[in-house]
Chain A
Amino acid sequence: MPWGEFKNIAAERRLFQRRTLVMLIFVMLLMGALIARLYQLQVVEHEIYTTLSDKNRVQVQSVPPPRGLVYDRNRVLLAENRPVFSVTLVPERITDMSATLARLQTILSISDEDLERFQRRLKERRRPFQELPLRYDLNEEEIARLAVLRHELPGVEVQAELVRYYPYSEFTAHALGFVGRINQSELQRIDPVNYAGTNYIGKSGIERFYEQQLHGKVGYQHVETNARGRTLRVLERKNPVPGENIQLHLDLRLQKLAHKLLDGRRGAIVAIEPATGGILALASVPGFDANQFVTGISVEDYRELSESRDKPLFNRALRGQYPPGSTLKPMLAIAALDSGATNHTRRVWDPGYFQFNSSGRRYRDWKRSGHGWVDLNLAITQSCDVYFYEIAVDMGVDTIHHYLSRFGFGEDAALDVAGALSGLLPSKEWKQGARQEPWYPGDTVNLGIGQGFMLATPLQLATATALIADRGYWVEPRLLKSIDGNNDLTSFLPEQNHAPLTLKNPDNWEFVVEAMADVMHGARGTARAAGANASYRMAGKTGTAQVFSLAEDEEYDAEEVKERLRDHALFVGFAPVDNPQIAVSVIVENGGGGSSTAAPMARALFDAWLLEFGEGGGDRDGSAAADIANVEGPR
């Protein structure tokens, strides 16, 4: 069939023209629809989209405040902030997560734990486009390798953040505590706005107690970002208020010395400045490196620390509750003198044991043969147990409890030491409540030499010793010395709530102090070896505590038992006698005798503080200690 044959060309043309007209109208209608749509978006709803566009482009970011620094009393930095680089991933920007992770594993060393933690966080609820950290603490080589390959890894970023670093951590971990990542329960109690950019919070110690001051106030900035969230420029910025720097009473030199003295053993040393209550040293040995905990300790490292028999994570200075043994005798002597249970001259016959009646149980003295006739001075100097059995029975448990509680036993008297325990100051009520047993006279006898139920922490012993050094004037122990150079700490420290221990006859303080000085310097003093050849006078009391167990949950394997059943060696003391600059308590677990093991450590601390470090009291009258040393030298 040839073209055009029998076709009505004119009719076809008219048909086509009509159809074209329809199509033209169709085109104009749809074009009109497009124009209407654009008019709606660009003119009618213009404001909405302008806002959206700005919101897109401009983001408000929180700027975390740098955490306050912690200094020791000589302004040695104990806790600082170090930039740490970590690699973070934005899951929304990553199309193939497993491929990206596999690729990163070829660039960086990523442990199974890192991966596990990352996968866990990936499943948790989070803000969209939030960066999830994969690995912390990249080294420079890893940062460089990532920088080179970053274009191949969309959604992968290297982030710098300031992270806490403790330069002397093995010495200071127990005194300062440490920070760690904020966990779920902490999230509940913190202000989410102020912590918007913060990843770390004080977990223990000073870091926890002064969290509010150390943290500071969050800042924010309006930044222009691209769709990948990369900041292009800062439009407006409100700077954060950095955390306040705090200065502690702690002296790093003394702290290091305490660690050195206890090195290789288990024990604790607490040193307090009697005039201020400032804690000069707070050592618990063995220590640990708290820096491991900041970015998250590995499971193996943690297991090693927590399962070690030496319990390095256990803060013995604050939480170790030991029977104080004979170190309690000076406090008991004060109690007996003030309550009238004894006087300066009362003598007691010591046959080597104490009995309520001739057929009763014999409570032995540490010296089997007995001390013979003993007065209170000799009872302290020689640490005569029978004398104290006698006066304890004479006082009765209620009187003893009354006086010992005035020394801060059975409570946490420290102002700003987080996590300190209260020990145990037994009483009739306590025994009835806790053991459903009445108080037996024998319990009083045991209490008379600091054994039995009585438990005290090294911090409590140091506090009570400082009270003797201060002759009853109470200054609660505290770590904080100043905040940002401001010494007025009334708004930061809890209120002091201890009334001075005023004796009916204040001379009794001097009597007990002199007896304690005789312990160090007297011809028959138990610690005369430790006190020999001193250029100043010191006061002290040795102690040896029988071990039954350190704590309820303590577990020793059979072979360890023998070695670990050796007595704990204890010592409390202060120096100089007339103008005390330092009061200490020393506990060496299973250290044997207090006079042979613990007393020399205290002497070393006294020497260092009064002679070697010279200043004796930081910002106090600088030459005082040296003067005292000279004045007291000839004695």
Chain B
Amino acid sequence: MANRDILHGTDSSSLGNPRGFWAMVHLDPILLVLLLILMGGGLFVLYSGADRNIDVVKAQGIRLGIAFVVMVVLAQLDPAVFRRWAPLFYTLGLVALVAVLLVGVGAKGAQRWLAVPGLPRFQPSEYMKLVVPMMAAWYLSRHYLPPGLRHLAVGMAIVLVPMAMIVKQPDLGTSLLVGMAGIFVVFFAGISWKLIAAFFALVSVSAPVMWMYGMRDYQKQRVLTMLDPQSDPLGAGWNIIQSKTAIGSGGYDGKGWLHGTQSHLEFLPESHTDFIVAVLAEEFGFVGMLVLLTVYFLIILRCLHIAVSAQDSFSRLLAGALTMTFFIYIFVNIGMVSGMLPVVGVPLPLVSYGGTSGVTLMAAFGVLMSIHTHRRMICS
């Protein structure tokens, strides 16, 4: 307690010192600047992707603003709060997921939303992206690391139960992201390489079985389409062919902002949501894509630095897992749009139009900032 008082005293007495100021507002300036660059550039591309519809840009600006507020608020909380309440958050999340399966609403044969009267509609699976790694980190950090088999099993159960419920909705994309978040916690916790090797062996053996019995037809179709888009050029292959054409025709330095023919002539589907990176690639070319990937990479570097500098295992595991989830978003989205991965509904983080994922992502950055700016209070 004394230490904290002294620290605070020092900070408040030197307002001119930027580090002091940022510590007081509990924000990380480097991460903040990178995120602002990303979101600003994203809105710029969105204007083109939405075919100069300024209303779309405004709506996205408002959503990002809300997400930004969520980040700032979460950054003010002590990581100890997350740790203490993680089981409760997790339990609430499970209840919400059950409720989605029972009374959820949605479209196209999938129930993903929960409409509670008096509250905005929300998607419990999004919330679980944050809470599952939190819970896993809470459980594993209570025990010695690396975890023993028993704790590992419990940790995996914490991840797999909500994941299975999200698959039931069905929402394969989100359940994979939730699962990845949890698995990264397990990985960072120090699971032995032997087990990892065994896991991959199991996956490669079970994949054909999954193909035969576990996957729905439309999911199989997406995989087949990725392997050979020309097999159905006007149906499922259309998106991939058109986005690859958009990216490829962008060339080294692109066709110029607002000059992408693929997107503006409506050949490119979802040009302002999941496929927005194709707009960027078409209009700003390979150079533009390098800039985008550099910004993402710098964000990841900064976040991994935050994770490494965290002072307790819970914070480290959580920060590491959230960072890697963020990266998975990027990889899956760009991989899908460029035809390396099957089409999964994963947006390009903080650039694609759409509210829910933006709020979740910024909430994760809020948690990371909280971890970073509350360090010395825990340190004795």
Contact = CB atoms under 8 A, between A and B. Distances in A.
B249 A37 contact: no
Contact of B248 (A8, A19, A27, A45): A45
Contact of B249 (A8, A23, A49): A49
Nearest to A33: B340
Nearest to A19: B188
B196 to A, nearest CB: 10
A92 B238 CA distance: 12
Nearest to B282: A53
Contacts of B251: 42-43, 46, 50
B318 to A, nearest CB: 12
A461 to B, nearest CB: 61
B129 interface: no
A57 B265 contact: yes
Interface residues of A, number: 45
A3 B286 contact: no
Interface in B40-94: none
B338 A34 contact: yes
A231 B304 CA distance: 51
A604 B146 CA distance: 117
Is chain B's interface secondary structure helix, strand, loop, or mixed overall? helix
A38 B340 contact: no
B245 A49 contact: yes
B300 A49 contact: no
A42 B307 CA distance: 35
A105 to B, nearest CB: 27
Interface in B262-277: 262, 265-267
Contacts of A27: 297, 300, 324, 327
Contacts of B161: none
B286 A42 contact: yes
Interface in B246-266: 246-252, 261-262, 265-266
A4 B265 contact: no
Interface string A2-46: 011011100011011101100110010011011101110111011
Contacts of B213: none
A23 B183 CA distance: 13
Given A20-B320, A30-B331, A46-B251, A38 B289 contact: yes
Given A16-B308, A42-B286, A128-B234, A34 B266 contact: no
Interface residues of B, number: 52
Interface string A227-241: 110001000000000
A48 B246 CA distance: 11
A34 B146 contact: no
A35 B290 CA distance: 7
B313 interface: yes
A232 B264 CA distance: 11
A31 B316 CA distance: 23
Given A4-B312, A23-B304, A42 B234 contact: no
A4 B245 CA distance: 55
Interface string B156-197: 000000000000000000000000000010011010000000
Interface in B311-341: 312-313, 316-317, 320, 324, 327, 331, 334-335, 338, 340
B265 A50 contact: no
A42 B211 CA distance: 33
A601 B29 CA distance: 107
A42 B289 contact: yes
A42 B289 CA distance: 10
B265 A232 contact: yes
A502 interface: no
Contacts of B317: 16
A12 B188 CA distance: 10
A132 to B, nearest CB: 16
Interface in A226-266: 226-228, 232
Contacts of B313: 7, 12, 16
B304 A20 contact: yes
A424 to B, nearest CB: 59
Name the residue in B187, B242, B245, B313 with the highest tally of chain A Cβ atoms < 10 Å from its Cβ: B245
A224 B265 CA distance: 9
Given A39-B286, A42-B289, A24 B304 contact: yes
Nearest to B83: A3
B145 A12 contact: yes
Given A3-B142, A34-B338, A19 B265 contact: no
Contacts of A1: 142-143
Nearest to A32: B293
A515 B283 CA distance: 93
B244 interface: yes
Nearest to B313: A12
A52 interface: yes
Contact of B245 (A8, A33, A53): A53
A31 B247 contact: no
Contacts of B241: 52
B245 A15 contact: no
Interface in A125-155: 128-129
A15 B249 contact: no
Interface in A388-427: none
Nearest to A22: B187
Nearest to A45: B248
Interface in A41-78: 41-43, 45-46, 48-50, 52-53, 56-57
B145 A19 contact: no
Nearest to A38: B289
A225 interface: yes
Given A27-B297, A33-B340, A53 B246 contact: yes
A30 B246 CA distance: 22
B248 A52 contact: yes
B338 A37 contact: yes
Contacts of A13: 316
B128 interface: no
B155 interface: no
A15, A42, A43, A48 pick with most chain B CB within 10 angstroms:
A42
B248 A50 contact: yes
Contact of A42 (B187, B248, B308): B248
Interface string B288-301: 01100100110011
A43 B142 contact: no
B144 interface: yes
Nearest to B296: A31
Contacts of B242: 56, 227
A30 B296 CA distance: 13
B261 A57 contact: yes
B281 interface: yes
Given A7-B145, A13-B316, A20-B188, 14 more contacts: A12-B190, A15-B190, A16-B188, A16-B190, A19-B187, A20-B320, A24-B301, A27-B324, A35-B290, A41-B244, A50-B248, A52-B241, A56-B242, A129-B234
19 contacts: A7-B144, A15-B145, A24-B301, A24-B304, A27-B300, A31-B331, A37-B335, A38-B281, A41-B244, A41-B338, A42-B250, A42-B286, A46-B249, A48-B248, A49-B248, A52-B245, A128-B234, A226-B267, A227-B242
Interface of B: 141-146, 184, 187-188, 190, 234, 241-242, 244-252, 261-262, 265-267, 281, 285-286, 289-290, 293, 296-297, 300-301, 304, 307-308, 312-313, 316-317, 320, 324, 327, 331, 334-335, 338, 340
Which 3 pairs across A and B sit closest by C-beta, in order of nearness? Answer: A49-B248, A53-B249, A42-B286
